[in-house]
């Protein structure tokens, strides 16, 4: 560390305290310390000088500029007491002295006890080159200290300025406190407003939930009433419709009186219409059972190969276009899944029947694929396809997608099939585009859950 002395002086009498304060302020000014720092280091010097003069009779004072490891310059003042310090230690009587400077310490330099204080020179100050320090040393050597009265007047002026600054800071603090208080009042008012709005919102949400619960209960009651109505109507209609079919069969039996050609045609129409009506009644009854939760799956280990074989045999007898081929692929073993065999067969039969009914040419294919999370059962056809905007609607009750030709049906098969798949713990999805056919995919977990 490089140290360059600027000024030396002695402290022996009370008068020297004023001179030391004045010279300290002068040195601080020429090296570039700001005005407030000049006053701080001069005040610290006068306090330490008064302590040393009272305790050991004085000191030798050296003002110097020292370089620090961080490359910054410091104004350093060493006060070497003319007699040993009591106990070899020094504590300023005023605790504020240490806060006026950057460092204040007692150390041993060449067997002398030195009280050292320092203040960092601002980076904005003029660079203290060797030539500049020589010039400052000469300048300080030529200047003469003022009288005690002049220094006292300067101190009084500094005190007045300090008091004025304190008063300004006090006024500024009062103003800031007032602004803070107003801000706090505004924040509290806003908080209260938000609290009131939140409480009102909560009340609205509670009321909405209550209304939703009421509507849900009403919808549940309406759904239960609808299911009960469908079940009762279906039961009431099944007996007379079955009787009509039986009577029509008797009229057309060879053991009965012969019918004319027109009579045979009309009896055939009666039987056909009654059969369609019986199919509708049965589907309504099945849907009512599914909606009311009265269908309980009978879980068992089901071999898909047996289910597929049964479907292959029964569906080949259904009437379909000559250009349509039914392809039922054999599942790769082991092809077991825990489910209800009757309900699963009913779902697949419904999907295959629909595909055969709406496909004019090409093929209808049933296949099964095993995945890590379960089985994917797909029924695909080469029919006209269904637009994407109607994919959800085909699962609505009594809805049939429009096509090039009107095909008989009730529009209950797909809603019923999806309800059964949900009961089996799976899902039923549709993928289709106009002109590219349709694919219905049934996903079933292996363990049925």
Range of weakest confidence among 58-72, 139-153, 225-239:
225-239
Q: How far apart are CA 270 and CA 434, in angstroms?
A: 36
Mean pLDDT: which of 105-109, 221-225, 296-300, 376-380 is highest? 376-380
Euclidean distance between CA atoms 80 and 282, whole angstroms: 117
Is residue 6 predicted with pLDDT exceeding 90? yes
SS3 category, 443? strand
| Least-confidence region, from 69-73, 122-126, 276-280, 350-354 | 276-280
Report the pLDDT averaged over residues 25-41. 92
What does the longest C-alpha to C-alpha distance in the chain come to?
156
- Predicted confidence at residue 226, as pLDDT, reads 64
Helix (H, G, I), strand (E, B) or coil at 62: strand
- Assign 104 a pLDDT band (cuts: 50, 70, 90): very high
* Crossing angle for the helix pair 148-251 and 261-292, to the nearest 10 degrees: 150
pLDDT of residue 189: 87
Confirm if 363 and 382 have CB atoms less than 8 A apart: yes
Among 155-159, 219-223, 295-299, which is the least confidently predicted range?
155-159
pLDDT at position 10, please?
94
Q: Select the more confidently predicted residue: 26 or 1.
A: 26
Q: pLDDT (tens digit, 9 = 90+) per residue, 122-164? A: 988 988 888 998 999 998 888 777 666 666 666 667 666 766 7
For residue 368, how many other CB atoms are within 10 A of its CB? 22
What is the pLDDT, as a whole number, of residue 117?
Answer: 93
For residue 406, the model assigns a pLDDT of 45
Report residue 430's pLDDT band, with 50, 70 and 90 as the boundaries. Answer: very high
**Over residues 325-329, mean pLDDT:** 90
Q: Flag whether pLDDT at 55 surpasses 80.
A: yes
pLDDT, greater one: 308 or 246? 308
pLDDT at 407 (0 to 100)? 52
Is pLDDT of 165 > 80? no
Instruction: Find the mean pLDDT for residues 29-51.
Output: 92
What is the pLDDT, as a whole number, of residue 405?
Answer: 47
Query: Is pLDDT above 60 for 404?
Result: no
Q: Is the dihedral of CA 299, 304, 309, 315 positive or negative?
A: positive
Percent of the chain with pLDDT over 70: 80
Selection from 59, 73, 78 nearest residue 119 by Cα: 73
414 has a pLDDT exceeding 50: yes
Summarize pLDDT for 358-395 with one digit per residue, the tens.
Answer: 888 899 999 999 888 889 999 999 989 999 898 888 88
pLDDT of residue 26: 93
- Any idea what DSSP says for residue 78? E
pLDDT for residue 348: 92
Q: Check residue 179 and give its pLDDT.
A: 87
Given this model, what pLDDT does residue 28 score? Answer: 94
Cα gap 363→356, rounded to integer Å: 8
Confidence of residue 24 (pLDDT cuts 50, 70, 90): very high
Report whether pLDDT(25) > 80.
yes
Q: What would the DSSP string read from start to end of 222-261? A: HHHHHHHHHHHHHHHHHHHHHHHHHHHHHHTSTTS----H
414-422 contacts at long range (C-beta below 8 A, 24 or more positions apart): 414/350, 414/354, 415/287, 416/283, 416/286, 416/287, 416/290, 416/350, 417/346, 417/347, 417/350, 417/351, 419/287, 419/290, 419/291, 420/290, 420/295, 420/343, 420/346, 420/347, 421/347
In this structure, how many other beta carbons lie within 10 angstroms of the beta carbon of residue 329?
Answer: 13
Q: How far apart are CA 428 and CA 442, in angstroms?
A: 5
**Does residue 265 or residue 38 have the better pLDDT?**
38
Q: What DSSP string runs through 361-406?
A: SEEEEEEEEEETTEEEEEEEE-S----GGGTTGGGSTT-----SS-
Q: Are 9 and 59 in contact (CB under 8 A)?
A: no
Residue 275 burial (C-beta neighbours within 10 Å; 0-12, 13-18, 19+): middle
Give yes or no for residue 235 having a pLDDT over 90: no
**Better-predicted residue by pLDDT, 429 or 274:** 429
Cα gap 140→5, rounded to integer Å? 11
């Amino acid at each position: 560390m490089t140290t360059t002395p600027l000024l030396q002086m002695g402290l022996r009498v009370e008068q020297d305290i004023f001179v030391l304060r004045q010279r300290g302020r002068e040195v601080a000014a020429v090296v570039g310390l700001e005005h407030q720092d000049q006053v701080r280091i001069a005040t610290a010097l006068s306090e330490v000088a008064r302590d040393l003069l009272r305790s050991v009779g004085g000191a030798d004072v050296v003002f110097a500029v020292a370089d620090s490891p961080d490359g910054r310059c410091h104004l350093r003042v060493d006060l070497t007491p003319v007699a040993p310090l009591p106990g070899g230690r020094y504590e300023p009587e005023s605790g504020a002295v240490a806060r006026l400077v950057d460092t204040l310490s007692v150390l041993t330099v060449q067997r002398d006890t030195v009280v050292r204080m320092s203040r960092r020179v601002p980076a904005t100050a003029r660079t203290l080159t060797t030539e500049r320090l020589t010039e400052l040393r000469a300048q300080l050597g030529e200047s003469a200290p003022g009288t005690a009265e002049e220094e006292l007047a300067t101190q009084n002026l500094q005190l007045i300025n300090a008091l004025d600054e304190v008063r300004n800071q006090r006024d500024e603090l009062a103003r800031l406190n007032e602004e803070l208080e107003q801000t706090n009042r505004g924040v509290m008012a806003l908080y209260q407003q938000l609290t009131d709005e939140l409480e009102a919102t909560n009340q609205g949400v509670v009321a909405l939930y209550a209304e939703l619960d009421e509507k849900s209960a009403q919808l549940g009651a309406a759904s239960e009433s609808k299911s009960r109505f469908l079940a009762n109507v279906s039961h009431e209609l099944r007996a007379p419709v079955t009787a009509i079919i039986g009577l029509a069969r008797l009229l057309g039996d060879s053991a009965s009186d012969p019918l004319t050609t027109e009579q045979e045609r009309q009896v055939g129409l009666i039987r056909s219409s009654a059969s369609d009506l019986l199919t509708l009644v049965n589907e309504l009854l099945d849907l009512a059972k599914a909606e009311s939760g009265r269908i309980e799956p009978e879980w068992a280990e089901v071999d898909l190969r047996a289910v597929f074989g049964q479907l292959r045999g029964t569906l080949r007898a259904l009437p379909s276009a000559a250009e349509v081929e039914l392809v039922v692929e054999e599942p790769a073993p082991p092809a077991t899944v825990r489910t209800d065999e009757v309900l699963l067969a009913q779902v697949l039969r419904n999907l295959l029947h629909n595909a055969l009914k709406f496909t004019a040419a090409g093929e209808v294919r049933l296949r099964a694929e095993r995945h890590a999370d379960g089985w994917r059962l797909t029924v695909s056809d080469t029919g006209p396809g269904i637009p994407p905007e109607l994919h959800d609607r085909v699962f609505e009750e009594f809805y049939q997608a429009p096509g090039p030709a009107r095909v008989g049906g009730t529009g209950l098969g797909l809603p019923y099939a999806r309800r059964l798949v949900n009961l089996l713990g799976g899902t039923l999805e549709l993928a289709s585009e106009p002109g590219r056919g349709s694919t219905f995919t049934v996903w079933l977990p292996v363990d049925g859950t």
